[in-house]
């Protein structure tokens, strides 16, 4: 009974999704069956300039955002330089990217998930990175231990590929804009006083009309600086010493200055923080705030400087401002003491064995990494970002193929025939890869699997419910659906043949799978160009990637192929490939032939089951009918070549069966109404 329901469900599914007419002209249909001829010869190519709206585009099948996510607790750096929990990020928010740019969130994702998470502790960063195993992280792999990889290529690696002592990117935001209210907020001496206040100052709680700085009696130079600054503004400053405690209280009597310092630096030792409007000052001015804080709460050791504070938010801000001034510092928490506030330390020195600067990015060593099995934290999150398609999570730059390319090719092939858009399931291809259980997929596998097992649809075989490398099963229903979307055949085009790819797209309108190898800085460009010396795809610094070529034309006078990506590799999903780059970096081309079930010239296949010779049809049958009479009708029509040979006989009279009956009726000069009545029964029983 269960099997009958499954088969009935499959036929009903095809009624909804596979019953569309083939809208192509006879000339267009013929292209499916002359593909080898088209691919073998190159027709003249119409290289014409195209405006943005003239380039062909197809719906995204986005590998990056369906498989790679963070738990809700991860902090995302916003354009305001404040952090926001990833679960609270919404469309329209502006985030900082791994390139230091500000970009808008265009789509958010949330899904139920459990499985193995990767937990990465980066030296100097207090928050660990926790993410799904396939989440891309911009990093450099260690070649020699203890040596800084100054000249090694940085690119996106899956979290599971990273190990202890690899180097992850910590991007710097160098944006400068004037968000101050008072001109004094850009005065270097005032900013130093603000920093000293945040370390050693407090506001008179009674009438809020004075400020007190608690200094050591030896810090007379600090007192003189405070006195000189405020005396110039007409404010009285007094100093009281306590020889017994070796302390010195410096009092500034001004309600105006008390309110301003409170506004810009906060109050109470564990609640102080730098006002947000000072976070965009020139870095050299911000360094005055840092110096004031360190003069108050810091100490200089033999080779380093250490800042101690009970304000976690303030000490993280200081770490950020030091980075803007090209100094990487290491933040740690001291062991908690009963009855005392938590204490944080920030340490930095002129040279560090665990970090180095490249452009606007620090690369910092991974301190340790572990896999957390059986994560059951509920929802995980991700989002799309325009252009760069990356963002900064807990301070680290993270990143906004073969099976996804196959699914895109299936989508295009079906759209050309029906003008309907269906999303196919990459996982129904990926499941059968020959290199399982390893991640990734061998290029030659995909088309063979598509031809042999078909490709299912995403609505019945979700691609956002699994992780690469994790074991999972495809339902019998999804497998049966895949049988209706098989590939009739495929052709391998000679690699690096730019004109043949353009000619084939021009002639057939189909997409083509093309493979490239590159470095991240090459692939991050809208029009990639050869920058680095890569002699073959299998060098350690080379990335290999499969994409879909969907169009050809001139872009600003240059002949290009338009490709659509699935993984936002390098921060983009659309690129334009020049002849030069294609000739240098292409190493595999695959071209899909027609879907088997749509082949109008296919020779009818004798079904494995034939109706009994003495079977007599006695019942009127029409759309919605069920039972043995319907099943035998389907078997008879399949044997006669009117019912699709690769669709199971279900015993349910749906649109496919109705269409087959109409074909049979017309072949017998009957009215093609799709109802098996008196005259049709007579023809069937002859």
| Residue 534: DSSP 8-state | -
* Per-residue pLDDT at 193 exceeds 80: yes
Tell me the pLDDT tens digit for each residue of 106-146: 777 676 656 677 889 999 888 888 777 777 788 888 876 65
Residue 65: phi and psi, rounded to 5, are -95, -10
Residues of the chain above pLDDT 70, percent:
77
In this predicted structure, what is the pLDDT of residue 613? Answer: 54
Of the candidates 381, 399, 370, 366, the one whose C-alpha atom is nearest the C-alpha of residue 125 is 366
Give the predicted TM-score (pTM) of the model. Answer: 0.54
- Start-to-end Cα distance in the chain: 32
Pairing of strands 167-171, 210-216: unpaired
Specify the pairing of strand 391-393 against strand 543-555. unpaired
Cα–Cα distance for residue pair 294/664, rounded to 1 Å: 90
What does residue 403 show for φ and ψ, rounded to 5 degrees? Answer: -65, -30
Q: What sections of 306-381 are H helices per DSSP? A: 312-324
Among 387, 396, 456, residue whose Cα is nearest residue 426: 456
Structure tokens at 80: 């305001």
Supply 69's token pair: 């996510």
Residue 470 pLDDT grade (very low, low, confident, very high; cuts 50, 70, 90): very low
Mean pLDDT of the chain: 80
d(CA 356, CA 151): 12
For 99-105, what is the mean pLDDT?
75
| Domains, the chain | 34-54+403-592 (3.90.70.10), 63-162+360-398 (2.170.16.10), 183-349 (3.10.28.10), 604-684 (1.10.101.10)
- Residue 476 or 99, more confident: 476
Is the Cβ–Cβ distance between 133 and 118 less than 8 Å?
yes
Residue 602 has pLDDT above 60, yes or no: no
CA distance 403 to 301: 56
What integer pLDDT is reported at residue 189 of this predicted model? 96
* pLDDT (tens digit per residue) in 297-308: 998 887 889 999
Q: Is the pLDDT of residue 294 over 70?
A: yes
Q: How far is CA 4 from the centre of its chain?
A: 41
In this predicted structure, what is the pLDDT of residue 467? Answer: 43
Q: How confident is residue 606, by pLDDT bands cut at 50, 70 and 90?
A: very low
Q: In this structure, are residues 518 and 542 in contact, taking their beta carbons and an 8 Å threshold?
A: yes
Largest CA distance in the chain: 121
| pLDDT at residue 631, as a whole number | 87
524-555 pLDDT, tens per residue? 788 999 998 888 887 766 777 888 999 999 99
Cα dihedral 411→416→420→421 (10° resolution): 20
Task: Give dist(CA 209, CA 203) in Å, integer.
Answer: 8
**DSSP code of 487?**
B
Where residue 518 falls among pLDDT bands split at 50, 70, 90? confident
Q: Which pLDDT tens digit goes with each residue over 315-325?
A: 999 999 999 99
Q: How many Å apart are CA 182 and CA 201, to the nearest integer?
A: 21
Which of the residue ranges 95-104, 200-209, 527-536, 657-666 would you say has the lowest mean pLDDT? 95-104
At residue 400, does pLDDT exceed 50?
Answer: no
Question: Model confidence over 235-277: pLDDT tens digits?
Answer: 999 998 887 778 899 999 999 999 999 999 999 989 999 998 9
CA separation, residue 340 to residues 310, 633, 680 (Å): 10, 83, 92
pLDDT at 281 over 90: yes
What span, in angstroms and rounded, lies between the C-alpha atoms of 82 and 267?
19
Find out whether 170 and 224 touch, Cβ atoms under 8 Å. no
CA atoms within 13 A on the CB side of 282: 8
Q: Which of 293, 325, 292 minimizes the C-alpha distance to 309?
A: 293
pLDDT digits (tens, 9 = 90+) for 364-392: 999 999 887 655 456 677 776 765 556 66
d(CA 602, CA 604): 6
Cβ–Cβ contacts within 10 Å for residue 187, how many? 15
- In this model, does residue 90 exceed pLDDT 60? yes
Whether the per-residue pLDDT at 683 is higher than 50: the answer is yes
From 465, 663, 510, 622, select the one nearest 39 (Cα to Cα).
510
Extract the tokens encoding 661.
């009956």
User: What CA–CA distance (Å, rounded) separates 255 from 374?
Assistant: 57
Q: Are 328 and 357 in contact (CB under 8 A)?
A: yes
pLDDT category, 413, cuts 50, 70, 90?
confident
Among 98, 71, 97, CA closest to 85:
71
* Residue 194 burial (10 A CB sphere; 0-12, 13-18, 19+): buried
Query: Contact, 115 vs 132, CB < 8 A?
Result: yes
Q: Mean pLDDT lowest for which of 1-5, 351-355, 555-559, 629-633? A: 1-5
pLDDT of residue 220: 92
Q: Identify the three-state secondary structure at position 202.
A: strand
Q: Is the pLDDT of residue 510 over 90?
A: no
Q: Is the pLDDT of residue 234 over 80?
A: yes
């Amino acid at each position: 009974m269960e099997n009958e329901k499954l088969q009935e469900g499959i036929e009903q599914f095809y009624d909804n999704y596979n019953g569309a007419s083939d809208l192509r002209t006879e000339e267009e249909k013929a292209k499916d069956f002359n593909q080898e001829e088209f691919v073998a010869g190159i027709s003249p190519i119409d290289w014409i300039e195209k405006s943005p709206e003239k380039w062909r585009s197809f719906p995204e099948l986005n590998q990056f955002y369906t498989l790679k996510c963070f738990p809700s607790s991860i902090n995302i750096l916003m354009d305001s330089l404040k952090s926001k929990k990833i679960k609270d990020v919404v469309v329209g928010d502006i985030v900082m990217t791994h390139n230091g740019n500000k970009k808008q969130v265009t789509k958010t994702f949330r899904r139920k998930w459990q499985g193995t998470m990767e937990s990465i502790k980066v030296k100097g960063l207090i928050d660990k990175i926790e993410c799904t195993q396939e989440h891309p992280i911009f990093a450099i792999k260690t070649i020699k231990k203890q040596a800084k990889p100054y000249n090694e290529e940085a690119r996106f690696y899956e979290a599971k590929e990273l190990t202890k002592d690899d180097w992850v990117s910590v991007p710097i935001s160098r944006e400068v804009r004037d968000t101050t209210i008072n001109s004094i907020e850009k005065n270097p001496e005032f900013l130093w006083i603000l920093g000293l206040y945040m370390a050693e100052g407090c506001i008179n709680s009674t009438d809020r009309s004075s400020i007190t700085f608690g200094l050591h009696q030896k810090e007379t130079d600090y007192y003189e600086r405070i006195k000189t600054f405020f005396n110039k503004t007409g404010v009285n400053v007094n100093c009281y010493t306590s020889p017994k405690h070796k302390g010195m209280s410096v009092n500034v009597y001004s309600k105006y200055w008390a309110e301003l310092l409170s506004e810009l630096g906060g109050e109470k030792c564990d609640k102080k923080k730098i006002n947000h409007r000072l976070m965009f000052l020139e870095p050299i001015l911000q360094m005055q705030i840092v110096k004031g804080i360190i003069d108050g709460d810091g100490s200089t050791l033999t080779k380093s400087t250490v800042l101690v504070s009970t304000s976690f938010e303030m000490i993280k801000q200081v770490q950020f401002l030091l980075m803007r001034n090209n100094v990487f510092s290491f933040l740690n928490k001291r062991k908690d003491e009963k009855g005392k506030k938590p204490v944080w330390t920030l340490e930095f020195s002129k040279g560090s064995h665990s970090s180095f600067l490249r452009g606007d990015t620090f690369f910092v060593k991974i301190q340790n990494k572990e896999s957390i099995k059986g994560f059951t934290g509920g929802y995980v999150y991700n989002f799309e970002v325009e252009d760069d398609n990356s963002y900064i999570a807990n301070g680290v730059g993270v990143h906004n193929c073969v099976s996804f390319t196959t699914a895109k090719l299936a989508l295009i092939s079906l759209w050309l025939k029906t003008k309907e858009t269906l999303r196919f399931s990459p996982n129904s291809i990926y499941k059968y890869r020959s290199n399982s259980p390893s991640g990734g997929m061998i290029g030659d596998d995909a088309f063979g699997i598509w031809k042999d097992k078909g490709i299912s649809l995403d609505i019945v075989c979700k691609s956002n419910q699994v992780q690469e490398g994790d074991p999972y099963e495809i339902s019998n229903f999804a497998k049966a659906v895949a049988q209706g979307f098989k590939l009739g055949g495929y052709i391998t085009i000679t690699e690096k043949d730019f004109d043949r790819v353009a000619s084939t797209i021009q002639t057939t309108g189909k997409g083509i799978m093309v493979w490239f190898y590159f470095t991240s800085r090459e692939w991050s460009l809208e029009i990639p160009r050869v920058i680095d010396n890569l002699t073959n795809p299998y060098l350690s610094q080379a990335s290999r990637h499969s994409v879909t070529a969907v169009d050809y034309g001139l872009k600003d006078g240059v002949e290009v192929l338009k490709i659509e990506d699935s993984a936002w590799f390098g921060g983009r999903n659309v690129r334009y490939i020049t002849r030069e780059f294609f000739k240098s970096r292409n190493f595999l081309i695959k071209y899909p032939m027609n879907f088997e079930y749509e082949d109008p010239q296919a020779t009818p296949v004798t079904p494995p089951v034939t109706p009994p010779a003495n079977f007599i049809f006695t019942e009127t049958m029409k759309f919605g009918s069920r039972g043995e009479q319907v099943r035998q009708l389907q078997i008879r029509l399949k044997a006669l070549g009117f019912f699709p040979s690769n669709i199971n006989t279900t015993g349910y009279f749906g649109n496919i069966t109705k269409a087959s009956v109409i074909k049979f009726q017309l072949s017998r000069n009957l009215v093609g109404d799709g109802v098996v009545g008196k005259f049709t029964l007579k023809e069937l029983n002859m």
